[in-house]
């Protein structure tokens, strides 16, 4: 029990980044996913159900309305992109919640793991979870409804990057809320993204909103992505300007999310929330 | 010149909504020593240990651990410390080996595979290493928590009720291993406990806390002599209830 020499121990500063520690956290979540088939099934279940439901609705509408006949794929495209946004945030938040549910957060906060290493590992896990959940669904969308999401090409990459950045910004902030307020704030992780749904105009153009609400919609990065997707699918026109605007807004959202997380973590250290991580 | 203290606490205060949980305590702990932090429920032991670990920011005062100011400079020393507490658990779906691998990587332990095997052997966990942590008995889980606390061969070990919920035999077994670890490595241990037998067996010094303050601080033999008692449990009651009230209760 006592043979390990302490000379290996190096003292490090608060900003030292360690890929090894990030890898440790990813390994921890991977072990968890691998050991639990309900967690794996849940990753695929809702995206599949949603895609199939909306896919059939779109199929029906296309047969009965000339506009939708021209705008083939906008509904199912919106469903898939919304899922990237929603599942991206959920993938981040659930990995974080696993630490709260297992009462492991104190172990992590007492370890040399830095907050930004923790955040990076949660971001990587959200990508892994999203890949496991959404990639099979995109294949089903192609098989069932002939909608090839990957046919969007470079535009898909631009949409994806912007949606992921928003989902991480929200996920980071929600994690801060949970770390500060305990599992009583867990519901935010499941519901906060639905605040975005009507305002980011997932299924309809921004012009559908009342005029006074439209500036609010344009403050949210995903609005640019969904508008950009409709522009691409209906007019075959990729609007790079919309993606750049979304990227700029995302930089602000991401910085605000990280700032909020660090402030809430600081507050948790003041109020003792890291020791009592219950309800 | 004497070695600098492993832990130095100066005029430490923690208020929760103006109510003091820790009320201006000061003490130093010498490197290589085993110290017990005793007190009834709500005495401020866990709050004190949390501030020493850097999990909790003091309202005022100063905590220095292995030469680093906590919590500001905690990343300088977190690799040299570890802890066990009933307030935290290990992820239950992960096997013992997986948990130890994750924490070993977080702490940057070299030759991790060998270290896990070594801890498995030392804590009688070898047969269980590939079993999910959630499927273990309370005693086995405590040994796993202990393995996690020792994974980085810490110079400073903070233990909050390390043998709570263990049967006397297992508790004694755990104490023996902790004692040996500290002796062999010249590691410092601060132990919060309600178990007087444990404190008497392990600790060369005892700090009694009551309502956030230090009520007494000495070696067990000197405490016994000063209070005219035969066991630390009797001293504990004297301190908790006040000497006269404890005498009446005993009669």
Measured in degrees and rounded to the nearest 5, phi and psi for residue A4 equal -75, 130
- Dmax (CA) for chain A in angstroms is 77
Q: Are A1 and B89 within 8 A, CB to CB?
A: no
A271: pLDDT strictly greater than 70: yes
For chain B, residues with pLDDT lower than 70 are 1-2, 243-251
Mean pLDDT on A41-68:
71
Contacts of B175 in chain A (CB under 8 A): none
| pLDDT value of position A9 | 41
Q: Are A111 and B56 within 8 A, CB to CB?
A: no
Rounded to an integer, what distance in angstroms lies between the CA atom of residue A197 and that of residue A170? 13
| pLDDT value of position B48 | 93
Query: Any bridge partners for residue B12, and if so which?
Result: B25
Q: Provide, rounded to the nearest whole percent, the portion of chain A with pLDDT above 90.
A: 44
Minimum distance, in Å, between the CA of residue B237 and any CA atom of chain A: 28
Rounded to an integer, what distance in angstroms lies between the CA atom of residue B246 and that of residue B251? 9
| pLDDT value of position A72 | 61
- Which B residues 204-243 touch A at CB under 8 Å? none
Q: Provide, rounded to the nearest whole percent, the portion of chain A with pLDDT above 70.
A: 87
| Closest among A228, A248, A254, A51 to A147, alpha carbons compared | A51
Q: How far is CA B154 from CA B86, B103, B136, in A?
A: 19, 13, 25
The residue in chain A having the minimum alpha-carbon distance to the alpha carbon of residue B182 is A2
A27 touches chain B (CB under 8 A): yes
| pLDDT value of position B251 | 55
| Closest among B215, B203, B231 to B36, alpha carbons compared | B203
Helix (H/G/I), strand (E/B), else coil: A167: helix
Minimum distance, in Å, between the CA of residue A3 and any CA atom of chain B: 8
| pLDDT value of position B244 | 54
- Which A residues 183-202 touch B at CB under 8 Å? none
Helix axis angle for B138-150 and B168-185, nearest 10°, is 10
- Chain position carrying tokens 């968890």: A32
A1: pLDDT strictly greater than 50: no
Q: Are A104 and B108 within 8 A, CB to CB?
A: no
The residue in chain A having the minimum alpha-carbon distance to the alpha carbon of residue B160 is A275
| pLDDT value of position B101 | 96
DSSP A102: T
Contact present, B105 and B152 (Cβ < 8 Å):
no
- Structural domains of chain B ordered from first start: 7-218 (3.40.50.300), 226-251 (no CATH)
Confidence of residue A11 (pLDDT cuts 50, 70, 90): very low
| pLDDT value of position A3 | 37
| pLDDT value of position A171 | 95
A3 touches chain B (CB under 8 A): yes
Minimum distance, in Å, between the CA of residue A111 and any CA atom of chain B: 6
**What string of DSSP letters covers chain B?**
-PPPPSEEEEEEEEEETTEEEEEEEEEEE-TT-EEEEE-STTSSHHHHHHHHHTSS--SEEEEEETTEEETTTHHHHGGGEEEE-TT----SSSBHHHHHHHHHHHTT-SSHHHHHHHHHHHTT-GGGTTSBGGGS-HHHHHHHHHHHHHTT--SEEEEESTTTT--HHHHHHHHHHHHHHHHHHT-EEEEEES-HHHHHHH-SEEEEEETTEEEEEE-HHHHHHHHT-SSHHHHHHHHHH-HHHHHHHH-
A79: pLDDT strictly greater than 50: yes
The residue in chain A having the minimum alpha-carbon distance to the alpha carbon of residue B118 is A1
Q: How far is CA B181 from CA A260, B39, B146, in A?
A: 42, 25, 11
| pLDDT value of position A7 | 38
A156: pLDDT strictly greater than 80: yes
Examine the predicted complex and report whether its ipTM is higher than 0.95: no
Q: Which of A41-45, A62-66, A158-162, B6-10 has the lowest mean pLDDT?
A: A62-66
Q: Are A107 and B155 within 8 A, CB to CB?
A: no
A7 touches chain B (CB under 8 A): no
The four Cα atoms B102, B105, B107, B112 give a dihedral, to 10 degrees, of 100
A263 touches chain B (CB under 8 A): no
Cβ count within 10 A of residue B21:
21
Minimum distance, in Å, between the CA of residue A182 and any CA atom of chain B: 14
| pLDDT value of position B161 | 82
- Which of A14, A34, A38, A107 to substitute to test the interface with B, most B CBs within 10 Å? A107
| pLDDT value of position A263 | 94
Q: Are A9 and B103 within 8 A, CB to CB?
A: no
Rounded to an integer, what distance in angstroms lies between the CA atom of residue B66 and that of residue B68? 6
- pTM of the predicted protein model: 0.86
Contact present, B11 and B168 (Cβ < 8 Å):
no
Per-residue model confidence as pLDDT tens digits over A226-244: 999 999 888 888 999 999 9
Q: How far is CA B9 from CA A69, A116, A189, B4, B56, in A?
A: 74, 29, 39, 13, 14
B13 touches chain A (CB under 8 A): no
Tokens of A60: 């029906």
Q: Are B91 and A275 within 8 A, CB to CB?
A: no
A75: pLDDT strictly greater than 90: no
Contact present, B97 and B129 (Cβ < 8 Å):
yes
Confidence of residue A151 (pLDDT cuts 50, 70, 90): confident
A6: pLDDT strictly greater than 90: no
**Mean of all residue pLDDT scores within chain A:** 85
Dihedral sign from CA coordinates of A19, A25, A31, A37: negative
| pLDDT value of position B247 | 55
A248 touches chain B (CB under 8 A): no
Q: Per the omega criterion (within 30 degrees of 0), is the bond before B251 cis?
A: no
The residue in chain A having the minimum alpha-carbon distance to the alpha carbon of residue B186 is A2
Angle, alpha carbons B168-B170-B172 (nearest 5°): 65
- Which A residues 147-176 touch B at CB under 8 Å? none
Q: What is the number of CB-based contacts under 8 A between chain A and chain B? A: 147
Q: Does A89 or B40 have the greater pLDDT score?
A: A89
B152 touches chain A (CB under 8 A): yes
């Amino acid at each position: 029990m006592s043979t390990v020499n302490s000379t290996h121990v190096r003292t490090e500063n608060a900003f030292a980044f360690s890929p090894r520690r990030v890898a440790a956290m990813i390994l921890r979540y991977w072990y968890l996913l691998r050991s639990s088939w309900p967690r794996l099934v849940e990753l695929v279940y809702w995206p599949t159900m949603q895609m199939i439901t909306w896919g059939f609705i779109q199929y029906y509408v296309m047969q009965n309305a000339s506009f939708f006949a021209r705008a083939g794929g906008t509904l199912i495209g919106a469903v898939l992109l919304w899922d990237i946004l929603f599942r991206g945030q959920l993938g981040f938040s659930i990995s974080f919640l696993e630490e709260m549910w297992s009462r492991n957060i104190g172990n992590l906060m007492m370890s040399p793991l830095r907050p930004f290493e923790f955040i990076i590992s949660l971001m990587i896990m959200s990508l892994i979870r999203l890949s496991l959940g959404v990639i099979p669904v995109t294949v089903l969308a192609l098989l069932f409804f002939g909608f090839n999401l990957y046919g969007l090409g470079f535009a898909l990459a631009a949409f994806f990057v912007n949606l992921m950045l928003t989902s991480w910004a929200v996920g980071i902030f929600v994690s801060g809320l949970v770390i500060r307020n305990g599992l009583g704030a867990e519901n935010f992780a499941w519901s906060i993204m639905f605040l975005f749904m009507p305002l980011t105009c997932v299924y309809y153009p921004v012009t559908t909103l009342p005029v006074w609400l439209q500036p609010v919609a344009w403050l949210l990065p995903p609005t640019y992505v969904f508008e950009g997707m409709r522009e691409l699918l209906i007019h075959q026109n990729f609007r790079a300007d919309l993606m750049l605007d979304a990227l700029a807004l995302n930089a602000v959202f991401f910085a605000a999310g990280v700032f909020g997380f660090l402030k809430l973590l600081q507050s948790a250290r003041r109020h003792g929330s890291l020791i009592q991580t219950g309800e | 010149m004497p070695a600098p203290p492993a832990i130095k606490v100066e005029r430490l205060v923690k208020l929760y909504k103006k109510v003091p949980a820790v009320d201006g305590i000061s003490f130093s702990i010498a490197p290589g020593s085993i110290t017990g932090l005793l007190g009834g429920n709500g005495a401020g032991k866990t709050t004190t240990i949390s501030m020493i670990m850097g999990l909790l920011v003091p309202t005022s005062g100063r905590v220095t651990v292995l030469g680093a100011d906590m919590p500001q400079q905690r990343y300088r020393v977190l690799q040299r410390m570890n802890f066990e507490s009933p307030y935290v658990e290990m992820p239950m779906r992960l096997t013992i080996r997986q948990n130890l691998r994750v924490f070993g990587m977080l702490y940057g332990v070299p030759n991790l595979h060998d270290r896990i095997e070594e801890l498995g052997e030392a804590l009688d966990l070898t047969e269980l290493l590939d079993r999910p942590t959630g499927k273990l008995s309370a005693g086995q889980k405590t040994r796993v928590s202990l393995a996690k606390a020792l994974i980085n061969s810490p110079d400073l070990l903070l233990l909050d009720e390390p043998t709570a919920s263990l049967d006397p035999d297992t508790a004694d077994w755990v104490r023996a291993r902790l004692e040996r670890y500290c002796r062999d490595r010249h590691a410092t241990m601060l132990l919060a406990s309600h178990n007087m037998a444990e404190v008497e067996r392990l600790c060369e010094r005892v700090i009694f806390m009551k309502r956030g303050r230090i009520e007494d601080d000495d070696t067990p033999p000197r405490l016994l002599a000063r209070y005219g008692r035969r066991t630390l449990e009797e001293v504990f009651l004297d301190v908790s209830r006040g000497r006269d009230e404890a005498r009446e209760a005993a009669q």
